[in-house]
């Protein structure tokens, strides 16, 4: 073997060894988890025909919520004193922001109020709605294999500019999901929250 042949052979050997090492290293690279499937809920759009017209404007504060519910993760309770989350699934926004947006849209869909918007937006409100999300989870109590969805929201209607609370009310809905599939669980969340949104709109307009 000539010197030129030896150099060519060694060069090819180094290239093959390097490629093999790179392939092995690539096989050991960590593979990231797939992003969670995102879900959203819908505003309410159907109301009693005798819903009164409100000739005033309403500001809706960003809802407060316990730290465990102030998240985009979908909460799960297997016992009354524990809280967990579904893996691989999340809301499109954190729960308080999502509830605020859907509540505003639900009031708008009623077509019975002059103006409604987020608190802090530059418009003068006659009333402010203080909102607290107290329950917003799927419950698997007593070893249940299929969850019951629980939504509970407290609202306080505040007269402006005096900032006097004129009424307060708790609204709650519990609905069993038909199956333990995520799509059915989310649809049950949508139905439970829809009931609460409708009741809040009706109560607020009648109070005002």
Q: How far apart are CA 204 and CA 45, in angstroms?
A: 15
- Return the bridge partners of 149, or none: 138, 175
pLDDT in tens, 133-175: 999 999 999 999 999 999 999 999 999 999 999 999 999 999 9
User: How far is it, in rounded angstroms, from Cα 128 to Cα 100?
Assistant: 13
Q: Confirm whether 31 is domain-assigned.
A: no
Number of residues written out for the chain: 208
> Is the pLDDT score of 4 beyond 80?
no
Domain count, the chain: 1
What average pLDDT does the chain have?
88
25 is a domain residue: no
CA distance 148 to 82: 15
Token couple for 81 = 């004193």
Residue 123: predicted pLDDT:
77
pLDDT tens readout for residues 116-128: 999 877 778 999 9
Cα gap 140→147, rounded to integer Å? 5
Tokens of 122: 């530059």
- Cα 205–chain centre separation: 25
Q: Is residue 34 part of a domain?
A: no
* Residue 112 domain boundaries: 54-207
Domain contains 21: no
10: pLDDT strictly greater than 80: no
What average pLDDT score do residues 7-33 get? 49
At 163, which CATH number? 3.40.50.10610
């Amino acid at each position: 073997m000539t010197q030129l042949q030896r150099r060519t052979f060694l060069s090819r050997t180094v290239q093959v060894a390097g490629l093999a090492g790179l392939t092995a290293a690539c096989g050991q690279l960590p593979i990231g988890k797939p992003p969670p499937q995102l879900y959203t809920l819908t505003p309410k759009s159907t109301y009693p025909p005798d819903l009164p017209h409100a000739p005033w404007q309403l500001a809706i504060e960003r809802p407060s919520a316990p730290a465990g519910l102030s998240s985009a993760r979908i909460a799960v309770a297997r016992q009354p004193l524990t809280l967990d989350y579904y893996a691989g699934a999340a809301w499109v926004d954190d729960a308080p922001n999502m509830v605020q947006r859907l509540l505003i849209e639900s009031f708008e869909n009623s077509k019975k109020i002059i103006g409604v918007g987020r608190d802090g937006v530059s418009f003068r409100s006659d009333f402010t709605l203080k909102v607290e999300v107290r329950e917003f989870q799927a419950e698997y109590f007593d070893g249940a294999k299929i969850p019951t969805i629980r939504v509970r929201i407290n609202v306080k209607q505040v007269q402006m500019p005096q900032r006097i609370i004129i009424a307060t009310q708790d609204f709650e809905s519990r609905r069993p999901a038909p199956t333990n599939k995520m799509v059915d669980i989310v649809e049950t969340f949508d139905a439970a929250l829809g009931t609460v949104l409708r009741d809040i709109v009706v109560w607020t307009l009648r109070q005002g």
